Amino acid sequence: MKFEFICTENDYLMNTLFWVSRSKEATKSRWVNVVVRVLLFLVAAFSAYMNNSFYLAGFALLCAVAIVFLYPIYQRSFYKKSYLKYIRTIYKDRIDKMLTIDFKEEVVWTKDETGESEMNRSEIAEVNETADYFFIKFDSDEALFLPKDRIQVADFLVVMDRLSAQYSLKLNQMLDWTWK
């Protein structure tokens, strides 16, 4: 079954954000950043308190509390901007261009402006569904996405039924997923 659609910058961004949010290493790294910053301000607060500088200690403590609540919001925005910059550089020849994904008998065939590729259907590691996309990951860490608003969702679900029967794949539904 063949699916053709034009890939937007936002499609590539959502694909990247989805897989980063599923990465344990990336999630751990983001939380380590928060913890390190909080600890630095707590050490500064303790040091100021020990030197009888209560206003400075209070300010450092207030900053530590603010970081706990505000830094994750800033961090989401920062990462999103960084990934968008990366996408504009790496995928500049693919943005707003036609992508064809064909689920053939034994392979998944893709074609875009930069070329063609084939991956064995047996190499599909997982298929995830969000409110707006289907994300497909292969054993080789390659990933594909299909935007629901530009494909026939019923046709893709037929493909998923075949994959499920043939390779024991399960469609992971994460309909409430958002970038956090």
- Cβ–Cβ under 8 Å, residues 41 and 61: yes
SS3 130: coil
34 CB-near residues (< 8 Å, 6+ apart): 67, 68, 71, 72, 75
Residue 89 has pLDDT above 90, yes or no: yes
Phi/psi of residue 95, each to 5°?
A: -70, 135
Mean pLDDT of the chain: 95
Q: Which pLDDT score is estimated for 6?
A: 97
Residue 180 has pLDDT above 90, yes or no: no
Which region among 56-60, 71-75, 142-146 has the lowest average model confidence (pLDDT)?
Answer: 71-75
Tens-digit pLDDT profile for residues 16-46: 999 999 999 999 999 999 999 999 999 999 9
Determine the average pLDDT of the residues in 51-59: 96
Tens-digit pLDDT profile for residues 150-169: 999 999 999 999 988 899 88
Determine the average pLDDT of the residues in 44-72: 96
CB-hemisphere CA count at 13 Å for 34?
17
pTM of the model: 0.87
CB-hemisphere CA count at 13 Å for 8?
7
Residue 109 has pLDDT above 90, yes or no: yes
- Cβ–Cβ under 8 Å, residues 49 and 57: yes
